[in-house]
Amino acid sequence: MKNKRLLTIDDEESIQIVIKFGIHMVAGWEVLSASDGRMGIDTAKRELPDAILLDVMMPEMDGIATFKELQANHITAGIPVIFLTAKAQTAEKKQFNDLGVSGVITKPFNSLDLPERISKILNW
Amino acid sequence: MKILLIEDDDALIALLTRSLSSQHHIVDVVKDGEMGWTYASTFDYDTIVLDIMLPKLDGISLCKKLRGAGYTTPILLLTSQYNTTIKVQGLDAGADDYVVKPFDIAELTARVRALLRRGSTNPLPLLSWGDLMLNPISCEVNYNGQALTLTTKEYDLLELFLRDSYRVFSNDEIIDRLWSSDDFPAEATVRSHLRRLRHKLQSAGAPHDFIGTIHGRGYYLTSSQNSPQSLISSNDNSQPIHSHQQQTEYLAFLQETWVQTKPQCLEILSKIAAIVDQLLLETCTYPEQQQAHQKAHKLVGTLGVFSLTSAMNIARQMERLLNRSILLSPTESLTLQTYLSELFRDIEVNSPSQKIDSPHPGLSLLLLIDIDQNSIQSLTDIADNHGYRTISLSTIEAADRYLFSNSNPNLPALILVNLRESSSILGFLHNVHLRLYDQAILVLSDRDELIDRLAVVRHGGKFLCTANLTTEQIFTTAVSLIPLITTTPKVMVVDDDLDWLRTVPKLLQPWGLKITTLADPQQFWNVLQSVQPDALVLDIQMPEINGLELCQVLRSDPNWQRLPILFLSVSKDSISQQEAFNVGADDYLCKPMMGGELAQRIRHRLARLQFS
């Protein structure tokens, strides 16, 4: 696997830590973190990661609002976004799909699997 | 398929519900536009049948609102005005089709079928997969020409798979799609419907894996031409294999991180508990209930990522119950309270400990021996609801083989056995007690005789008379015996033999022990204080500080006087043994030693401590 840089946006620090550890251990990718949507958008603009893992349910600015803002900005519009969610009902998945997200990964996941799953979703 | 009917005319509701149900559709009914919005935006439907004239919010506005919010569920409008403007308005608002009242019921159901086909990967009116054919119009199913007689739920399951034939459906999704939003069936219920469906398919000549399982992910249609590799959903890829070392390191990391995360989870849980208290007092508002739902939802994700599966399952039940469009009643809130206390307990006692790739991660095991068929099913269902899994064996001999001939059995948290033939049972109890020490074992009997009670207790078991008890009560009593033994005892191993230290966690973890290893005796005190082990395994010969000295240090400290200490050494001579016991050892073992035996000796010391 080629070296990649990811950005995770999740308000739960422990999940960020676990994701970062798993991905780094298996694939050696660099993982940047942001703990809310606003900070995530700023980091994305500044760092231009190869992909963004975005938690759907966050306080204040949720994943969908964050995604829409990322899409609306020409700097970040091209970065593929994968949603992380605890339980995606079919309607939600359809909704995500219609929004134009690249994929959805449902919690629980084993972080060791993430590089492979992300690569498959994004055809890396 | 699941349909939302939004209609205020009771006569029409009755007629439509009857005819749609007869076509194997699950129908939720609401009577005004606002409720329609709540249901359609909360639950997952395959089609919405929507009247135009509705109280509170009319059908066309609702249609616009749904489409505006990104919902793509097919909508069929019912209109009594045969006028082009209304039809155009409806279609422009995002409806997919319309029917004019009074309508022919056959036409309406046909239009519903057509809409369902649009959302399906299978656009033909007849659904098929290999030799299987399902006709949604006549509701007939046959395999290779042979008719199948299916129950409603079996038919629904099959139709669901056939309509989206390349998808893997998780238990949750199946529940969302095939049960009405008022039902909360257990996952075991889905499994038992599937089991019967598979059985019927197989009897008709289908391969045994016609419906395949991906453990932990869900179910899908298999076929030689359509191998699972071609599955398209991002969640369906089979799990990559990681090295044992990676898994172990990852697990250790999860455990470490969990120590900091656990208090946060408990805090979230307390916040949910406060809202549940208000629900019970009927002083809670709907937004507060929604807040509790969001918190529960978050918790499901966190617990899952830390592979605390039983806790995650309880949190998920809680989340599902909180995800209502109306305020929960005090009775429903009581159920929430039960979930909460289970969750507090579960989070308190468990830590990420199971192998990540285990097919049933984290679930405590109940071993059922010689229990009658009906009880097995209901016990399994209840156990499943409470985050336990079960293995059922029909005879004592089979149980003997499972526990003692198997080199690495998955040891149960509890054994439940029926008292039929007392002689063989007592022999078995004796054997279990002798070889597995503190294994909890509950003997069930419908007779209530002192002599039976005595015999069981004398052989190390517990006795429960099941006459007049419900399965739920039996289960509750049974699991009340578990807490003492499901906590994973922490064992610290100090040894300068690095090869041994590398293997010892692997040897002991399957036996439910959490291992910390230490090679440098200089670090002993720091590590001991931070790990706070329940038992210690010491080597005697180590550089600079030997094991005997460490033992003396511990025995002179009031906090550690009672810590079980086992020596493990290559020296077999009686002088070393004598020395060890003199300085306060509880046991002395010689290398090489098998994992199982070492684990049993450790557990034996722990059990002694518990009863002393």
Q: What are the domain boundaries of chain B?
A: 2-118, 127-228, 246-349, 364-486, 490-611
> Do residues B587 and B605 make contact, with C-beta atoms less than 8 angstroms apart?
yes
- Interface contact A86-B253, CB threshold 8 A: no
> Do residues B5 and B35 make contact, with C-beta atoms less than 8 angstroms apart?
no
- Interface contact B264-A14, CB threshold 8 A: yes
**What's the mean pLDDT when you consider all of chain B?**
81
> Do residues A47 and A75 make contact, with C-beta atoms less than 8 angstroms apart?
no
| Rounded average pLDDT over B179-190 | 78
Q: Is the pLDDT of residue B589 over 50?
A: yes
Q: Does A124 map to a domain?
A: no
List the 277-306 stretch of B: residues with Cβ below 8 A of A.
294, 297-298, 300-306
Q: Does A99 map to a domain?
A: yes
User: What is the secondary structure of B398-427 as a DSSP string?
Assistant: HHHIIIIISSS----SEEEEE-SSHHHHHH
To the question of domain B2-118 being in CATH 3.20.20.70, the answer is: no
Identify the CATH homologous superfamily for domain B364-486. Response regulator (3.40.50.2300)
Which CATH number describes the domain made up of B246-349?
1.20.120
- Interface contact B307-A103, CB threshold 8 A: no
Say what the pLDDT of residue A1 is. 59
- Interface contact B246-A104, CB threshold 8 A: no
Q: Tell me, what amino acid is at B526?
A: N
Residue B477 token pair: 């009593």
CA atoms within 13 A on the CB side of B382: 17
Rounded to an integer, what distance in angstroms lies between the CA atom of residue B572 and that of residue B590?
Answer: 6
Q: Does A100 map to a domain?
A: yes
- CATH code of residue A84: 3.40.50.2300
Which tens digits make up the pLDDT trace of A64-109?
A: 999 999 999 999 999 999 998 876 555 677 778 788 889 888 888 8
Q: Is the pLDDT of residue B385 over 90?
A: no
Say what the pLDDT of residue A75 is. 93
Say what the pLDDT of residue B231 is. 28
Rounded to an integer, what distance in angstroms lies between the CA atom of residue B516 and that of residue B70?
Answer: 52
- A113-122, B37-46, B219-228 — which one is most confidently predicted on average? A113-122
B123 inside 8 A of chain A by CB: no
Q: Report which of B534, B590, B591 is spatially closest to residue B565, judged by C-alpha positions.
A: B534
Rounded to an integer, what distance in angstroms lies between the CA atom of residue B31 and that of residue B21?
Answer: 18
Chain A environment of B264 (Cβ under 8 Å) = 14
* Residue B228's pLDDT band (cuts 50, 70, 90): very low
Shortest Cα distance, chain B CAs vs residue A75, angstroms: 25
- For residue B418, what are the β-bridge partners? B444
Chain A environment of B294 (Cβ under 8 Å) = 57
Residue B581 token pair: 């016991």
Which tens digits make up the pLDDT trace of B268-310?
A: 999 999 999 999 888 999 999 999 998 998 888 888 888 887 7
**From 3.40.1130.10, 3.40.50.2300, 3.90.1170.40, 3.20.19.10, which CATH number describes the B490-611 domain?**
3.40.50.2300
Q: Tell me, what amino acid is at B306?
A: F
Into how many domains does chain A fold?
Answer: 1
Say what the pLDDT of residue A88 is. 55
> Do residues B538 and B587 make contact, with C-beta atoms less than 8 angstroms apart?
no
A25 inside 8 A of chain B by CB: yes
Chain B environment of A105 (Cβ under 8 Å) = 234-235
Domain that holds residue A58: 5-119
Same CATH topology for B2-118 and B364-486: the answer is: yes
Residue B464 token pair: 């429960």
Say what the pLDDT of residue B484 is. 46
Say what the pLDDT of residue B575 is. 86
Exposure pattern of B123-159 as b/e (b: 16+ CB <10 Å)? eeeebebbbbbbebeeeebebeeeebebeebbbbbbb
User: What is the secondary structure of A46-106 as a DSSP string?
Assistant: HH--SEEEEES--SSS-HHHHHHHHHHSTTTTTS-EEEEES---HHHHHHHHHHT-SEEEE
| Rounded average pLDDT over B378-386 | 80
ipTM of the complex: 0.82
> Do residues B533 and B563 make contact, with C-beta atoms less than 8 angstroms apart?
yes
Beta strands in B512-591 (DSSP E): 514-518, 535-538, 565-569, 587-590
Which tens digits make up the pLDDT trace of B346-373?
A: 888 777 864 333 333 335 788 899 888 7
- In this structure, of A93-97, B173-177, B333-337, B516-520, the range with the lowest mean pLDDT score is A93-97
Cα A75 off chain centre by: 17
Residue B95 vs residues B331, B488, B524: alpha-carbon distances, Å: 39, 57, 72
Which CATH number describes the domain made up of B127-228?
1.10.10.10
- Interface contact A104-B234, CB threshold 8 A: yes
- Interface contact A12-B301, CB threshold 8 A: yes
Say what the pLDDT of residue B404 is. 76
> Do residues B50 and B78 make contact, with C-beta atoms less than 8 angstroms apart?
yes
Rounded to an integer, what distance in angstroms lies between the CA atom of residue B164 and that of residue B173?
Answer: 12
Q: Provide the sign of the torsion angle of the four alpha carbons A12, A16, A18, A19, taken in this order.
A: positive
CA atoms within 13 A on the CB side of B244: 4
* Residue B76's pLDDT band (cuts 50, 70, 90): very high
Q: Tell me, what amino acid is at B502?
A: R
Q: Report which of B303, B383, B381, B304 is spatially closest to residue B347, judged by C-alpha positions.
A: B303
Q: Report which of B484, B500, B460 is spatially closest to residue B589, judged by C-alpha positions.
A: B500
List the 29-48 stretch of B: residues with Cβ below 8 A of A.
43-45
Say what the pLDDT of residue B612 is. 45
Shortest Cα distance, chain A CAs vs residue B157, angstroms: 16
Q: Is the pLDDT of residue A9 over 80?
A: yes
